[in-house]
Amino acid sequence: MTQVAPRFAARSLAPQPEGTDGLFSQTWFPVCRSDEVVAGQVQGFDFLGGRVIVIRDDDGQARVLSAYCPHMGADLCTGEMIDGTVRCPFHFWRYDADGRCIATGSGDPTPPTARLFAFPTAERYGCIFAFNGETPLFDIPDFPDAPKKLIWKTGEYDREMPADPWVICCNTPDMQHIQVVHGISFDNGMPHDRVEWTPHSMVYEFDGTMRDGSAIRFRVGIFGANIYWQDGYIDGRWFGFVAPMGLPRPGNSRLFFTVGVEDDGSDPPAAREFLDAMYALEVHVATEDLPIIEHARFKPGTLTRSDQTLARFLQYLRDYPRAHPSAAFIS
Ligand code: FES
Ligand SMILES: [Fe+2]
């Protein structure tokens, strides 16, 4: 029987879901909000389909460590902080802030292999981040052009999203939806030729007009595969916004929102009011997107000229480095 070749070869533009072949994007994932971790306590969180603990060392610095005790596998989130060390609830082995076992409960010598995975950890924008790797590949983005004195407000979306962070991040290069869903018009057409790419980020700037007539000048971008970043002006006034997305388990995102505005001390209540207004604006913008993404079967197929930056972003994601060095520790 003659085989007839298909007329169109099936071609998937979609990057692989997080967790494919046991690998995850090598990026800074927010694990929790800063205010969820109190000095002297051990907090446990789901991360990359496994478990981690978050503690604060003697200086108050946050540390993200694998949760399962290498002795017999107890979850250290039910342990206690004793003199700056984590004490396992099962046989009282103790781990320092770098994850080294420094004592066993019985007095037996500590086995050299008894250690926790210590993630590169950073605390920014009201969140505690862990890098999925031994060494960070890039820095959490800053606001180099921001005014000097800033105040910040951090919160999170009221539920986990049933999508990988990178799926939600596809919003940023999706210039069609910025116009129709958010009602933003680009003053100089879609800014496809103004996108700056690195292996770990994409950023572009545009002037535009919001639905209510406000004039905006924004620099927006994605860092890694999960951090939305926005620096800009609304009616001439600066504000910054970061929406980092955590990955408790494949196919699920925890979304954090942080907004910053200037408070030069001349009128703190007015600065606070502007902060609240910009926070509410960003939450509103996010809630225009999230119900659509929540119910979508993300399947990029027929893209058009307006999708050229989105198409390149899908390639960026397909090329994005993936690894899982903590696999043996957190699972
Ligand atoms: S399981 Fe942790 S000390 Fe035994
Ligand atoms: Fe959007």
Domain holding 122, by residue range, is 20-131
Among 1-10, 69-78, 117-126, 220-229, the least confident range:
1-10
Q: What is the mean pLDDT of residues 21-32?
A: 98
Pick the last residue of a domain from 81, 103, 131: 131
Task: Give which of 79, 194, 201 is closest to 139, Cα–Cα.
Answer: 201
- Is residue 186 domain-shared with residue 272, that is, in the same domain? yes
Contact 192, 269 (CB under 8 A): no
Residue 307 has what DSSP assignment? G
Question: Do 109 and 228 belong together in one domain?
Answer: no
Looking at the structure, tell me whether residues 181 and 95 fall in a common domain: no
157 and 123 share a domain?
no
Q: What is the mean pLDDT of residues 86-109?
A: 98
Give me ligand 1 centre to Cα 271, in Å.
50
CA of 71 from ligand 1 middle (Å) equals 5
Please tell me whether residues 108 and 155 are part of one structural domain.
no
Both structure tokens of 112:
């050299």
* 304 and 158 inside one domain: yes
Pseudo-torsion of CA 203, 24, 134, 199, nearest 10°? -30
Closest listed ligand to the CA of 69: 1
Q: Give the total number of structural domains in the chain.
A: 2
Distance CA 211, CA 179 (A): 9
Q: Is residue 13 part of a domain?
A: no
Domain finish residue from 131, 159, 188: 131
Ligand 1 mutation pick, 53, 66, 71, max ligand atoms within 8 A of CB = 71
What's the average model confidence in pLDDT over 176-199? 97
Q: What is the mean pLDDT of residues 220-244?
A: 97
Label residue 7 by pLDDT band (50, 70, 90): low
Q: Which two tokens stand for residue 317?
A: 């994601």
Measured over the CA atoms of residue 56, residue 57, residue 61 and residue 65, the dihedral's sign is negative
Question: Which band of pLDDT confidence, cut at 50, 70 and 90, is reported for residue 58?
Answer: confident
Please indicate, yes or no, whether residues 200 and 300 belong to a single structural domain of this protein.
yes
184 and 293 share one domain? yes
pLDDT score, position 12: 74
User: What pLDDT does 11 receive?
Assistant: 58
What is each CA distance from 191 to 143, 202, 222, 291, in whole angstroms? 21, 13, 15, 26
Q: Residue 144 domain-assigned?
A: no
> Do 18 and 25 contact (CB within 8 A), yes or no?
yes
Report the alpha-carbon distance of residue 302 to residue 311 in Å, rounded: 10
Residue to probe by mutation, ligand 1, list 90, 106, 115, 116, most atoms within 8 Å of CB: 90
Across the range 187-204, mean pLDDT stands at 97
**Residue 4 domain-assigned (yes or no):** no
CATH number of the domain where residue 269 is located: 3.90.380.10
Q: Which two tokens stand for residue 114?
A: 């008894």
Task: Decide if 207 contacts 188 (C-beta within 8 A).
Answer: yes
Would you call 38 exposed, middle or buried from its count of C-beta atoms within 10 A (0-12, 13-18, 19+)? Answer: exposed
Does residue 166 sit in the same domain as residue 269? Answer: yes
pLDDT in tens, 119-134: 999 999 999 999 999 9
| CA–CA dist 113, 133 (Å, integer) | 19
pLDDT at residue 9 greater than cutoff 50: no
User: Does one domain contain both 200 and 107?
Assistant: no
Is the confidence at residue 3, as pLDDT, over 60? no
pLDDT at 241 over 80: yes
Say how many Å lie between the CA of residue 122 and the centre of ligand 2. Answer: 27
Quote the pLDDT of residue 266.
97
Q: Does residue 37 share a domain with residue 100?
A: yes
- Both 91 and 225 in a single domain? no
* pLDDT over 70 (residue 98): yes
Task: List, in sequence order, every residue forming a beta bridge with 153; answer none if it has no partner.
Answer: 259
CATH code, domain with 58: 2.102.10.10
pLDDT exceeds cutoff 70 at 318: yes
**What is the end-to-end Cα distance of the chain in Å, rounded?**
50
pLDDT at 24: 98
Residue 258: is it exposed, middle or buried by C-beta count within 10 angstroms (0-12/13-18/19+)? buried
Mean pLDDT of the chain: 95
Q: Are strands 215-223 and 227-234 parallel, antiparallel or unpaired?
A: antiparallel
